[in-house]
Amino acid sequence: MSRYTASDIEQKWQAAWDKADVFKARRDESKPKYYVLEMFPYPSGRIHMGHVRNYTMGDVIARFKIASGFSVLHPMGWDAFGMPAENAAMAIGGHPKTWTYGNIADMRAQMKPLGLSIDWSREFATCDPEYYGQQQAMFIDFMAKGLVYRKNAVVNWDPVDMTVLANEQVIDGKGWRSNAPVERRELTQWFFKISDYSEELLEALDGLHNWPEKVRTMQANWIGKSRGLQFSFNLTEPAGSFDSVEVYTTRPDTLLGANFIGISPDHPLARALEAENADLAAFNAECRRMGTSEADMEKAEKKGFDTGLRVKHPLDDSWELPVWVANFILMDYGTGAIFGCPAHDQRDLDFSRKYDLPVVDTFFALDDDTPVADLAFVPPKTERVKWVNHFAGLDIATGQEAIDATIDWAEEKGWGKGVTNYRLRDWGLSRQRYWGCPIPVVHCEDCGVVPEKKENLPVELPDDVTFDLPGNPLDRHPTWRDCACPACGKAAKRETDTMDTFVDSSWYFARFTSPRATTPTDAADADYWMNVDQYIGGIEHAILHLLYSRFFARAMNITGHLPDKAIEPFNALFTQGMVTHEIYVTRDERDRPVYHLPEDIEWHESGARLGATGEEITVVPSAKMSKSKKNVVDPDDIISSYGADTARWFVMSDSPPERDVEWTAAGAEATHKHLGRVWTLSDRISKMSADDGGNGDDDLTRATHRAIRDVTEGIESFAFNKAVAKLYEFTNTIAKSKAGVAAQKTAIMTLAQLMSPMTPHLAEDIWARQGGEGLVVNAPWPKPDPAMLVEDTVTLPIQVNGKRRSEIAVPVDMSKEEVEKLVLANDAVKKALDGGAPKKLIIVPGRIVNVVI
RNA sequence: GCGGGCGUGAUGGAAUGGUAGACAUACCAGACUUAAAAUCUGGAGGCCGUAUGGCCGUGCGGGUUCAAGUCCCGCCGCCCGCACCA
C-alpha cells in the first residue's frame, strides 16, 4: 500500500503548474477578472507563520476564483525600503541593498514551496529603481497639481548620534542607542496635502460596504470631523503684539463653565513670553522634551504654567480668566488654544483640581443637581439636560442642540464663527535617511526648489556609501548631491531627504497591474485589473496605510495615472488575525523574564520544566511570535517535516481568520494525520472494483451536495475554519459510507476539489489517481444540485418557559395547527401543563416551539 | 490618556435573538499488538444520580424578551492603532 508523502507530491504538482503556467495573469476581455492581493511583506529575511496564514487566505480565494471562471491576478512583491536595512548595515556592515536583495531571495525561496497561485512574473521590490523612478515621476506630477508642499515640522533629534529618530526609537524620552535625552528639532520637510481630502475621504467611507465596520469607524475617528466655535478672548492688557487669544471649542455651549485659557507650549504667545520669563521657558523646554507621539503626550502627567496674563470672558467684561500654558494642548489641532471647562471634561477637571481653579457647573442631569466633585459630568450629546442660566436662552435641551444654538447665537452676535475642523493632519513624507526613494527635486540658489526633469529619472541612490558615520549618507556624498539645476543649469544641490516608506506601499497595488510599464501605470491594464477585488492584511494597517492609499488613488486619478473607478482602490478588505504561540518563561535573579525555546522544555505531570535544570516554567499562551520571545515557528521546518499542505490546512482550520490562531505542535501533527487519512481513503476507493455494489448511494450523494454547498459558502464568506470543519465532516461521512464505487468516486473527487484551495497538492494527486481530467486547479468549481439539498423532515425542539424539555420530528411543511396538536400531545408538555392550558404557545416554523405556562 | 476590537468546555472554536459546545486538539476506554507507536471503534461542559432525569453554565453585575453567547447599560481583563516601525 502506498502512503501519503507530501514532499514527493508537492514538488511534482508545483512543477506541473509551472509547466502549464496556470497562474499567469492574463488580460482576457472575454472573462470577468478578479484581483486578489495580500499586503506585501517587508523582506526581513525569514517568512513566519503569519505570512503563511495571510498568503494562504489569499490563495484560497484566488484558486476558488480561478475554478469559478475568473481571470485572476494574484501578485507578490516586497516592501523593501526602510530602517531595518540601514540598521543592519550599521550593526553588521555591508550595504542595505545587498542585505535587502539577499533577504528577498531567501524569502522567495521559502515562499515558493508553499505552492501559492502567484504570478511571479509580476514580482518587484519597492527598492528597484524601475519602481521608485516611477514613484518619483508621480511625485513631480503631484507637485504640479499642488498636492505637495514644504513646511517646518518637529522631529526627534538624538544629540549624541546626531540623527533623527523614529518614534519607536525613542524609549522613555531617550535615544535607543545613545540613551541620550531626545530633543525636538524643527526641520523644513515635505508634505502631501491629504487634508484637502479630509471631507471626501470621510464621506467615501460610506461606500465601502465590503470593508469591516471597525476599520471604517477607526478611519472616521482618525479623520475626526468636528464642528465647533472659533472666537477670541481679549487680553486684559496686551502682551507684546498679542491682544487676544483665539480658541477653538467643540463645546461652546459650556462657555459659562470656563475657568482658564490653555495654550500649547508651541503656541506663538507661549513662545513670545519665553523671552522674558525664564521659568516659562524652562517649562516649555520640559514639554518639548516629551516624545513627539500623541500617545506620549496624552499619557504624560497633565501639567500647566500660569503665565500671569488674564483675559476677559466674552459674555461678561468683568469676569477675568487666567491664561495657562498646558502640556496636553496640541498646536496642530484647532488654534492651539482652548478654554477649560472642568465640570464637563475630565482632563480639565483633573487640571483644575491640581491647580486649585474654580469649578462651575453649566448643566445638570434632569433628575440630579449634585455639583461636580471628582468626576466630570459628560453625558452623551444626545441626552437632554437641564441648563443653568444658559446665555442663548436654553432651559432643557440636549448637548447637541445647545452646541448648535450657541454657534448660531455667537454668529448672530458677531463674536464667533462656526468652524468645521478635522483632526487629520497633512502627511509628512520627508525622512532624513538613505534607504528610501529619493525626493526628486533640486535646490537652486536662483530658481529655488525645482523638480528634476522626468528624463533624468530615476534619481538613483548612490551605491558608494558607508554607515560608519552618524546621519544621512546622502548628506555627505558630494558627487551625488552636487548637480545641475534642471531649470537654469547652474550648479545646484539635490534634496537629500528620502520618502516615507508608506509612499512606496500607497500605490504598489496599481503597479502590479502593469509592473514593467515605463510609466507608473498603463491605462489599459489599470482599467482591466483595477480595483483590487479582495485585499487582505493585518488590522494594524487599518488607519495609516489604508488611508494613505485611498489618498494616493485620488492623487493618481487627478494626475492621470488611475481611472475614475479606482478612486477607492480596494473593493473589499479583510483583516486577518495573528499567528501566536506559547512562550516559556523563567525569571532571572532580578526578576526579569528569560525566554526559552520549545525544544528545551520538558513536560511533567506537575507542569513544564526546563530540561537542563529542572526549573519550573511559566507557560504563557497566545503570545505574538517574536524572535526575542523565542516562540517563532519556522515554516521551513513545518514544510520539511509535514509538507506545505499541512501548514496551509492548519492555518485555515480552527480559528476564524479575523482572529488570532495559536500554533501548536500537536495541532500540526494532527493535521498531517488527517491529510494522510484522506490520502488513504482515496487510495482505498481507487482500488474498489467496478462491480462493488453497496448501499446508501443516495445518502452519500446527498452528503456530497451538502458539502459542496457548505464549503462554497464558507469560502465565499471568509469562514475558512467552517469550510474546513465541513470538510472534516464530509471526509468522515465518506470513510463510513458503504456506498457503491460510483458514488464513492464522485464523493472523493468532489472532496479533492473542495479541498483544493487549501491543500492544492494533495487535491491534484487525488484527482489524478481517480482519473480526473486535466489539473484540478483548472477544473470548474462544482455546483450543488438543489434537488439533493431538500430535507423533508425537521426536528423541532420544544421548550417549556424557555427551557428545552423535548423534541418532535415533523414534516418540513407541516401547518402550525398540526404542530400545535402534536406539541400539546407531547408527554413532557402534558406533564408540565399538569392538566392546565398554556398561557401562550409560540411556534416558529422550522425552528422551535416554546410553551409558556 | 484617546479611538477601535475581542472574551464560550482542559484547548482552538460552532451557534439568521430560537436545542449552547458542530468540527478539531488534548484526554479516557476498547480493538489490533508480546509490548509500544501507528491505525480503527466508542466516550466525554460541570455538579448530583445506577438510570429515566434534575440543577448550574458563554469574563463579572444588572436589564429588555415567550426565548439572550447574540440586544441594551455599567464594570474587569487582553489585543490593535495613536501620524518617523513596517
Nucleotide nearest to A669 (CA to C1'): B25
The total of other beta-carbon atoms located within 10 Å of residue A281's CB is 15
- Regions of chain A where pLDDT drops below 70: 1-2, 589-593, 598, 603-608, 621-628, 691-693
Nucleotide nearest to A291 (CA to C1'): B84
**H helices present in A386-512, as ranges:** 399-413, 478-481, 501-504, 508-511
Task: Find where cell 479582495 sits.
Answer: A534
| Residue A657 in grid coordinates | 481568520
Nucleotide nearest to A659 (CA to C1'): B6
Cα distances (Å, whole numbers) of residue A373 to A258, A342, A699: 16, 10, 71
| Residue A587 in grid coordinates | 525569571
Angle of CA points A468, A474, A480, to nearest 5°:
125
Nucleotide nearest to A380 (CA to C1'): B73
CA distance A152 to A186: 6
CA distance A533 to A70: 12
CA distance A96 to A660: 33
Instruction: Note the CA–C1' distance, A825 to B55, in angstroms.
Output: 26
Instruction: Note the CA–C1' distance, A346 to B83, in angstroms.
Output: 25
Q: Are strands A226-239 and A848-852 parallel, antiparallel or unpaired?
A: unpaired
Task: Please check whether residue A262 is in contact with residue A338, taking contact to mean a CB–CB distance below 8 angstroms.
Answer: yes
Give residue A439's pLDDT.
97
Strand extents, DSSP E, A422-517: 427-428, 430-431, 441-444, 448-451, 482-484, 491-494, 498-499
Instruction: Note the CA–C1' distance, A688 to B59, in angstroms.
Output: 53
Residues in binding site of A:
627
Nucleotide nearest to A505 (CA to C1'): B86
Q: Which residue is nearest to nucleotide B84 (CA to C1')?
A: A166
Instruction: Note the CA–C1' distance, A593 to B59, in angstroms.
Output: 27
pTM: 0.92
Q: Running DSSP on this structure, what letter comes out for residue A690?
A: T
Helix axes A644-652, A49-67, angle to 10 degrees: 90
Instruction: Note the CA–C1' distance, A172 to B17, in angstroms.
Output: 49
Q: Which residue is nearest to nucleotide B86 (CA to C1')?
A: A42
Nucleotide nearest to A719 (CA to C1'): B14
| Residue A389 in grid coordinates | 442660566
Instruction: Note the CA–C1' distance, A844 to B61, in angstroms.
Output: 32
| Residue A23 in grid coordinates | 497562474
Dmax over Cα atoms in chain A, in whole Å?
107
Q: What are phi and psi of A255, to 5 degrees?
A: -55, -30
Give residue A107's pLDDT.
94
Task: Find where cell 530633543 sits.
Answer: A183
Instruction: Note the CA–C1' distance, A798 to B65, in angstroms.
Output: 18
Instruction: Note the CA–C1' distance, A751 to B77, in angstroms.
Output: 42
Q: Which residue is nearest to nucleotide B4 (CA to C1')?
A: A218
Task: Please check whether residue A408 is in contact with residue A400, taking contact to mean a CB–CB distance below 8 angstroms.
Answer: no
Task: Find where cell 486649585 sits.
Answer: A356
Task: Please check whether residue A347 is in contact with residue A378, taking contact to mean a CB–CB distance below 8 angstroms.
Answer: no
Instruction: Note the CA–C1' distance, A176 to B33, in angstroms.
Output: 62
Residues in binding site of A for ATP:
627
Q: Which residue is nearest to nucleotide B2 (CA to C1')?
A: A298
CA distance A748 to A677: 12
Nucleotide nearest to A538 (CA to C1'): B80
Residue A852's beta-bridge partner residues? A840
Amino acid of residue A120: W
Q: Which nucleotides of B are covered by protein (CB under 7 A)?
A: 1-6, 11-16, 18-20, 22-26, 38-41, 54-55, 66-68, 79-86
Nearest to A542 by CA among A81, A208, A211: A211
ipTM score for this prediction? 0.93
CA distance A438 to A311: 49
Instruction: Note the CA–C1' distance, A727 to B42, in angstroms.
Output: 22
Nearest to A645 by CA among A686, A622, A679: A679
Q: Which residue is nearest to nucleotide B39 (CA to C1')?
A: A677
Task: Please check whether residue A548 is in contact with residue A194, taking contact to mean a CB–CB distance below 8 angstroms.
Answer: yes
Q: Which residue is nearest to nucleotide B80 (CA to C1')?
A: A540
Nucleotide nearest to A154 (CA to C1'): B84
Instruction: Note the CA–C1' distance, A679 to B29, in angstroms.
Output: 28
Nucleotide nearest to A653 (CA to C1'): B24
